[in-house]
Amino acid sequence: MESTLKAANFRSLQIMPDVHKVAQRTSESGEPLSGFAAQSVRRHMRQRRHQRRFIERGLASRDAALHGGEYYSANDALRDLDDILAQAEAKLT
């Protein structure tokens, strides 16, 4: 059985004329501006969801490292990378 979803409406969006012109130019041929806006909202929501999950994974990883005893601060990691770079540069000279 197929379910049908009713589309909800946003209130009218007010945008600057220059943004409106760019949106019209970048939309697909024959695509209504409302479709372009809806697609943009969906992409932005998906991007935020991925970003939130990325941050959650990073925080969980940090917490696990802190509790596991193998935690390296950003300064420690950068110092190690600087050492690696210096050694590689020394080999080139």
Q: What is the pLDDT of residue 37?
A: 85
User: Could you tell me if residue 79 is inside a domain?
Assistant: yes
Q: What is the pLDDT of residue 91?
A: 94
Tell me the per-residue pLDDT of 31-80, one tens digit each, with 9 for 90 and over. 888 888 888 899 999 999 999 999 999 999 989 998 998 888 899 999 99
User: Could you tell me if residue 22 is inside a domain?
Assistant: no
Q: Structural domain of residue 78, as residue ranges?
A: 32-92
Q: What is the pLDDT of residue 13?
A: 78
**Helices vs. strands in the chain: H and E counts, helices first:** 3, 0
User: Could you tell me if residue 59 is inside a domain?
Assistant: yes
User: Could you tell me if residue 68 is inside a domain?
Assistant: yes
Tell me the per-residue pLDDT of 15-25, one tens digit each, with 9 for 90 and over. 899 988 888 88
Q: What is the pLDDT of residue 92?
A: 92
Structural domain total, the chain? 1
User: Could you tell me if residue 9 is inside a domain?
Assistant: no
User: Could you tell me if residue 19 is inside a domain?
Assistant: no
User: Could you tell me if residue 13 is inside a domain?
Assistant: no
